[in-house]
């Protein structure tokens, strides 16, 4: 069941359910800032707190709202929230048409019956009423860059912030420089999405005109304006109300506007983001069969799920009797002897910890052209080998590697060179994830320094080209539970001059 939207000032609001309620007050409605204005900027974000700030969303209340423009705007950032090594560069243009404010509020005659108790009032009108609404439109362009490590993320973010705020340049020039600089850290790879709120048929700009479009958004027609922001006010300010002391106390515990990180609503969002991130990181370890490298994900998942369950119980207990309930807030051990109330800052996000490494070298140091079948972002895209095909005669002539990107299902075939008339040994199929490559050996000769033969050993069998005339073996052996074969690198001319295994080695997850 979807949450009930906030639509106008005076409407009731439940801070615990983060949704609108029935309207039980009347008053004078004034519109301020008629005609509004435009605010267009580049924002660099590394957390959901940054994103909420960039979108002008109140982290203590509006970030929890699953209705209207709040849900729509935040849905574009939810996938971003799953990664601790991503940087989101945002172009945000806000255009406000005006702010409605209700004053002189009093309870309507039709609702006098709910004033006998705070519980009756809450059951119809919630714990507060909407005091102001800001109507307008918003244009957002998201550029998501995925760094490989937290250190690289921080370097990328610092570089982006410096160029985004350089004085004396146009918004488009600053954006172009920022995207170029950020791309230098990720091989120019990023995901991009843009969206207009407040227009039913808005035409989106091309990449070369985003900055000017954002600046011109102030003159755009908003034929479907949305509520960009709203504030609420306790019924404690309305004459004739029942005793609201306990309601206000519960409300401040759940939606703490002064210290949002202490609010249970904010903590719940943080815990859910952490669970989403845990699922993403776990998938990376699982794709490579390296879950054994970490022993923290399952425990943290249980802990954070426990926080959510405790907050949900607190919320249910509070709503059952807002007039008298004093449910205990979730706590955390601050030392071995004492506990304190849980805060959003106590919840950490995981980052996969790994290194792409190179195994022993077979063949010589020269000849042919360098090749590398494993890009630096292979792990972020969950790229795994699903097949190896080797052409050979007296030498290894060609290697074709079939890979699949588990994150999007795309496949790719990588060929080192033209196989010519050599013999095809057939595709060795590793698509079944239960088949684990345990060892890769390359036979080579110290006479001509060329690679002659490849042998791959898995937990389900052995694959081998015909026997070559070599005198040395270069063998890579996987450490069980932490290592996974990614492909080959080296040098190829007409034959394989040099071959080395590239593999990933996982370590325990890092938390921050």
pLDDT in tens, 369-405: 999 999 888 998 899 999 999 998 889 999 999 999 9
pLDDT value at 187 more than 70: no
Identify whether the C-beta of residue 102 lies closer than 8 Å to the C-beta of residue 10: yes
pLDDT of residue 39: 82
pLDDT value at 79 more than 70: no
Domain boundaries, the chain: 11-244, 259-347, 351-511
pLDDT value at 61 more than 70: no
pLDDT of residue 246: 96
Identify whether the C-beta of residue 336 lies closer than 8 Å to the C-beta of residue 34: no
pLDDT of residue 84: 78
pLDDT value at 407 more than 70: yes
Q: What is the rounded CA–CA span in Å between residue 403 and residue 386? A: 5
Q: How confident is the model at residue 101 (pLDDT cuts 50, 70, 90)?
A: very high
Q: What is the rounded CA–CA span in Å between residue 495 and residue 452? A: 9
Q: What is the pLDDT of residues 117-132, one digit of tens each?
A: 999 999 999 999 999 9
Rg (CA), the chain: 30
pLDDT of residue 446: 95
pLDDT value at 457 more than 80: yes
pLDDT above 70: percentage of residues in the chain: 95
Calculate mean pLDDT across residues 417-421: 77
Calculate mean pLDDT across residues 411-421: 85
Nearest CA to 136 out of 43, 205, 218, 237 is that of 218
Identify whether the C-beta of residue 345 lies closer than 8 Å to the C-beta of residue 261: yes
Rounded mean pLDDT of the chain?
A: 89
pLDDT of residue 47: 82
Calculate mean pLDDT across residues 85-102: 91
**96 contacts: CB under 8 Å, gap ≥ 6:** 33, 36, 37, 134, 135, 136, 228
Identify whether the C-beta of residue 188 lies closer than 8 Å to the C-beta of residue 145: no
Q: How confident is the model at residue 236 (pLDDT cuts 50, 70, 90)?
A: very high
CB burial class (10 A; 0-12, 13-18, 19+) of residue 265?
buried
pLDDT of residue 196: 92
Q: What is the pLDDT of residues 441-455, one digit of tens each?
A: 999 999 999 999 999
CATH number of 351-511: 2.100.10.30
Residue 50: how many other CB atoms lie within 10 Å: 17
pLDDT of residue 484: 98
Query: Who wins on pLDDT, 14 or 80?
Result: 14
Calculate mean pLDDT across residues 8-32: 94
Nearest CA to 487 out of 409, 379, 394 is that of 379
Q: Which residue has the tokens 């590793």?
A: 430
Q: What is the rounded CA–CA span in Å between residue 290 and residue 479? A: 10
Q: What is the rounded CA–CA span in Å between residue 231 and residue 126? A: 14
Residue 67 token pair: 């209705």
pLDDT value at 413 more than 80: yes
């Amino acid at each position: 069941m979807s949450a009930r939207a906030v639509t106008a000032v005076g409407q009731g609001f439940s801070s615990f359910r983060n949704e609108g309620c029935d309207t039980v007050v009347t008053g004078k409605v004034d519109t301020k800032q008629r005609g509004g204005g435009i605010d267009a900027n580049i924002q660099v974000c590394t957390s959901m707190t940054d994103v909420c700030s960039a979108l002008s969303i109140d982290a203590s209340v509006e970030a929890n709202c699953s209705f209207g423009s709040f849900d729509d705007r935040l849905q574009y950032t939810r996938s971003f929230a799953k990664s601790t090594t991503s940087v989101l560069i945002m172009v945000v243009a806000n255009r406000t048409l005006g702010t409605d404010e209700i004053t002189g509020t009093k309870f309507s005659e039709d609702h006098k019956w709910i004033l006998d108790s705070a519980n009756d009032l809450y059951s119809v009108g919630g714990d507060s009423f909407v005091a102001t609404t800001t109507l307008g439109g918003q244009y957002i362009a998201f550029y998501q860059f995925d760094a490989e490590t937290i250190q690289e993320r921080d370097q990328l973010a610092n570089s982006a912030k410096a160029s985004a705020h350089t004085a004396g340049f146009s918004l488009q020039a600053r954006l172009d420089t920022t995207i170029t600089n950020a791309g230098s850290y990720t091989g120019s790879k990023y995901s991009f999405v843009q969206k207009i709120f407040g227009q039913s048929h808005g035409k989106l700009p091309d990449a070369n005109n985003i900055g000017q479009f954002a600046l011109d958004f102030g003159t755009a027609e908003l034929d479907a304006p949305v509520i960009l922001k709203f504030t609420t006010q306790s019924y404690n300010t309305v004459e004739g109300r029942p005793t609201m002391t306990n309601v206000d106390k519960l409300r401040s515990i759940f939606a703490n506007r002064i210290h949002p990180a202490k609010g249970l609503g904010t903590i719940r969002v943080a815990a859910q983001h952490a669970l989403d991130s845990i699922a993403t990181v776990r998938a990376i370890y699982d794709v490579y069969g390296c879950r054994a490298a970490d022993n923290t994900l399952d425990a943290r998942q249980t802990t954070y799920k426990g926080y959510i369950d405790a907050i949900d119980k607190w919320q249910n207990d509070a709503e059952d009797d807002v007039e008298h309930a004093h449910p205990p807030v979730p706590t955390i051990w601050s030392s071995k002897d004492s506990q304190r109330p849980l805060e959003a800052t106590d919840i950490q996000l995981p980052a996969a910890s790994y290194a792409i490494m190179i195994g022993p070298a077979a063949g010589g140091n020269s000849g042919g052209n360098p090749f590398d079948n494993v890009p630096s972002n292979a792990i972020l895209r969950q790229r795994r080998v699903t097949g190896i095909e080797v052409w050979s005669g007296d030498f290894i002539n060609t290697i074709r590697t079939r890979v699949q990107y588990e994150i999007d299902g795309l496949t790719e075939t990588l060929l080192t060179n033209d196989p010519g008339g050599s013999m095809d040994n057939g595709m060795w199929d590793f698509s079944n994830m239960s088949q684990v490559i345990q060892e890769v050996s390359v036979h080579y000769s110290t006479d001509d320094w060329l690679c002659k033969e490849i042998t791959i050993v898995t937990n389900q069998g052995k694959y081998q080209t015909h026997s070559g005339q070599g005198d040395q073996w270069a063998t890579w052996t996987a450490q069980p539970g932490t290592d996974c074969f990614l492909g080959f690198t080296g040098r190829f001319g007409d034959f394989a001059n040099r071959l080395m295994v590239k593999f990933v080695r996982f370590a325990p997850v890092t938390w921050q």
